[in-house]
Structure 1
Amino acid sequence: MHTETPGSPDCRGSLQSVYNKEMNMSANTTVERINTDVLIIGSGGAGLRAAIAATEAGVKVLVIAKEQLKDAHTGWAMGGINVAIKDPATPQMHFDDTINGGWYINNYKLARIFAEEMPDRVHDLERYGVQFDRLPDGTYFTWAGGKQSAPLNLCAGDYTGREMMRGLLAEVHRLQVPFLENHYVIRLIKQGDRVVGAYLIDNQTGQYKVVQAKATIVATGGGGNMYKVNTNAPSNTGEGYAWALDVGAELVDMEMVQFHPTGMAYPPEKRGTLVTEKVRGNGGILKNRLGERFMQRYQPQRLELAGRDEVARAIYQEIQEGRGTEHGGVYLDVTHWEEGKVEKLVPDVFAEHMEVGIDIRKQMMEISHSMHHMMGGYAITEWGETNVPGLYAAGEVTRSIHGANRLGGNSIAEGQVFGRRAGLRAADYCQNVSTPQVTQQAIDSEVAQMEALLHKKAGVKPTDMLSSIKAVMWDNVGIIRDEEKLKLARQQLTQLRQQAQDLYAENTQQLQASLEIQDMLRVAEVIVESALERKESRGAHYRSDYPQMDPAWEKNIYIKQNSDGKLVTRTAPPVKE
């Protein structure tokens, strides 16, 4: 067998010498076993930072990437990362802004750690080769986003995520961290009360694999593709949240789904494409079709730099009341910027519009709200621990620090802080447990379920169901909610789950899509149940039937699946120490 360098585009050969493998025949299908200490599922900023930390701690690591490593969703992030790294910003300001932006249901303990540790994580990134923008005097270029009391946002043009991934990947290669690209995780494996790895499928060959791991870190990102209009990568389908239900891990704040105020509204093929907050942070003006700067009506003090939830609802209201553009949006205007500023500050936004013949230096952009980020997720400690032994989580798949509304710039930043922490704690956990052994019977059962989907001759195709899910979530669990819409969504999702029993797959890619659909429906149900329970409006969760924020609801909604498969919820006040 040929051998390739660990970390190369296909490192299956290198893994042969790194890990102990056995080949087993199950349901007439070859299954490959891989042993490791720490399994990391997800290759974005949080997953790679966890891999670096765990590797440096001296344990064996394996990273599973759903796509190619370089294509992780972190690379789509534009505006920057928040960090108190330059006067007058301080970690206390960063903490306060995060809590205020999140409408006081954040995990205060995590938010404090985040604000205080971020400067060190930026210096780590610079050691990996990441180059942030600087002024002629050599100091960092920073800018203030929505609801920021000081310039916290550090950036690399409007392609900060891509630049971060470049540096993180360079460090992963330097450390020779093994990884598998284009592999889909079917589900996590639980033995007793402990998570001990995951079942995978190679998307290119169709081969089944089982990874037996002492510790597992889920860093799968969000689930934006549940929504018809979104800013997310196609791979963001939310299965990480569904795995939590499988193994009894708690989710929290799942009703908190952020809609970015500014996604492209036109042309149709670009609908939802992110237009970074950096545009508004540097003087971009929102106007309706009458030419009015409408934010003066809604947020006269902060205008375009109000919270994302507030700006997105203002845009929605302008459109609903008939003051939108012909393409169902509003205008974002930078035609007043001085010569050269567009190309320098937002080169990617400029290029996206030039591709479709719109020169934003001379023409206004048409934008509208677009599903962007999930504030909820795995309930974790400050070390990324879940309530299930052996299972850790980091990044957008966790509830992290954002509360009811995430500040722009806090997402790919917090993944660096808590990815590192999860990697360190998972490595420490490995010192006291043995490598698990998954039974042959369990492997045979899992493979049989997958083969059954592939051997069906007819049924429902996953592409047909995906469009239905997107419509349900966009229409009824979107930026404005009420009990009637949410109960309709519940009913529609129940019907779709029944239809999903008839899903079939003609090949490995359709098998993955079928599994994504099943998981997406479960996660959608969790969002709906949490949204029905929160009978108030707070941050990204706006109920037209409960339009006011209620002090009695300054608490978090936790949700998990009990032993008979039913969802159960509990509420608790925010963690403040």
Structure 2
Amino acid sequence: MTYTPEMLELIKVVEATRPSRLHQAYPAMSMEDRQKVLQGFHPDYLVESMREIRVGVGKGGRMPNELAEVIEGRPHIDASFDLSCPEFETDVLVIGGGGAGASAALMAQENGARVTIVTKLRFGDANTMMAQGGIQAADRPNDSPSIHYLDVIGGGHFTNYPDLVEALVIDAPIVIQWLESLGAMFDKLLDGTMMEEHGGGTSRKRMHSARDYSGAEIMRTLRDEVRNRPNIDVIEFCP
């Protein structure tokens, strides 16, 4: 890598002062000092970059200006639209084109339903795309759903809903197998077994990931599967 002359000078300063800084202790910042730094430099704390939502269920909440404009955007349906004359008929209507919506559509289709997915943006423009870490599933000999359950309950400071945690830890290995059967390319060792790592607060390695774009890989798999199956219609940019 080629450095600019200014950067080279700064590197020399860092190297020259490194011995004096190795054993230097820096005092912890007070909460007031931290708040000042955040308000001065972090984009989420800049007053001009955030505003309150004026309508809807999120009214009064603060969020970035760009997101507020999307949420407050007027629908594309004209006032003369006749609701008595439906344009589409379906057995199952899935609202939302992210990982959950795509999975629900696939499950419904597998059970014989004709499915329609409607999404306000493009199919796949969702939080799933932003996920990086991976999915935890207890599928190793030294692990079990029971151990996973204890990790989740403890990590949640015993405030979790036990029934939801139970469903999570029992279904997780099944979901991993299902996603892989659809073509999701999780990281693997040379012998073909899943490469699993520790997650926050875990007592076993059970994190299944696809590099640092796990969500994008999962969404790619689900989106391709939906597109290639019969009896699933996708309506994008649907208000």
Q: TM-score w.r.t. structure 1 length?
A: 0.27
CA offset at residue 71 of structure 1? 2.0
Alignment of 1:62 onto 2:116? yes
How many percent identity over aligned positions? 36
Matches of 1:109 and 1:27 in 2, distance apart? 44
More strand as a share of residues: 1
User: Hey, what does 1:110 align to over in structure 2?
Assistant: 164
CA offset at residue 30 of structure 1? 5.4
Mapping of residues 470-549 of structure 1, within 5 Å: none
Matches of 2:80 and 2:97 in 1, distance apart? 31
CA offset at residue 89 of structure 1? 2.4
Mapping of residues 84-483 of structure 1, within 5 Å: 84-176=138-230, 177-184=232-239
Alignment of 1:78 onto 2:78? no
CA offset at residue 100 of structure 1? 0.9
CA offset at residue 91 of structure 1? 1.1
Deviations 1:238-277 (A, max 9, x none): xxxxxxxxxxxxxxxxxxxxxxxxxxxxxxxxxxxxxxxx
Q: Decide whether the 8 Å contact of 1:70 with 1:165 is kept in 2.
A: yes
User: What letter is aligned with 2:100?
Assistant: A
User: Is there any run of 5+ residues in structure 2 with no aligned partner, and where?
Assistant: 1-77
CA distance 1:37–1:147, change in 2 (3 Å): same
Matches of 1:162 and 1:57 in 2, distance apart? 26
User: Hey, what does 2:80 align to over in structure 1?
Assistant: 28
CA offset at residue 139 of structure 1? 1.4
Q: Decide whether the 8 Å contact of 2:148 with 2:169 is kept in 1.
A: yes
More helix as a share of residues: 2
Q: Decide whether the 8 Å contact of 2:189 with 2:195 is kept in 1.
A: yes
CA offset at residue 102 of structure 1? 1.3
Matches of 2:211 and 2:114 in 1, distance apart? 35
User: What letter is aligned with 1:28?
Assistant: S
CA distance 1:170–1:29, change in 2 (3 Å): closer
Deviations 1:214-251 (A, max 9, x none): xxxxxxxxxxxxxxxxxxxxxxxxxxxxxxxxxxxxxx
User: Is there any run of 5+ residues in structure 1 with no aligned partner, and where?
Assistant: 1-25, 185-577
Matches of 1:149 and 1:85 in 2, distance apart? 14
Q: Decide whether the 8 Å contact of 1:142 with 1:154 is kept in 2.
A: yes
SS at match of 2:89: strand
Q: Decide whether the 8 Å contact of 1:86 with 1:140 is kept in 2.
A: no
CA distance 1:42–1:135, change in 2 (3 Å): same
CA distance 1:148–1:36, change in 2 (3 Å): same
CA offset at residue 77 of structure 1? 0.5
User: What letter is aligned with 1:178?
Assistant: D
SS at match of 1:146: coil
Q: CA RMSD in A?
A: 1.9
User: Hey, what does 1:53 align to over in structure 2?
Assistant: 107
Matches of 1:60 and 1:70 in 2, distance apart? 20
CA offset at residue 27 of structure 1? 4.8
User: Hey, what does 1:498 align to over in structure 2?
Assistant: none
CA distance 1:46–1:28, change in 2 (3 Å): closer
Greater radius of gyration (CA): 2
User: What letter is aligned with 2:235?
Assistant: L
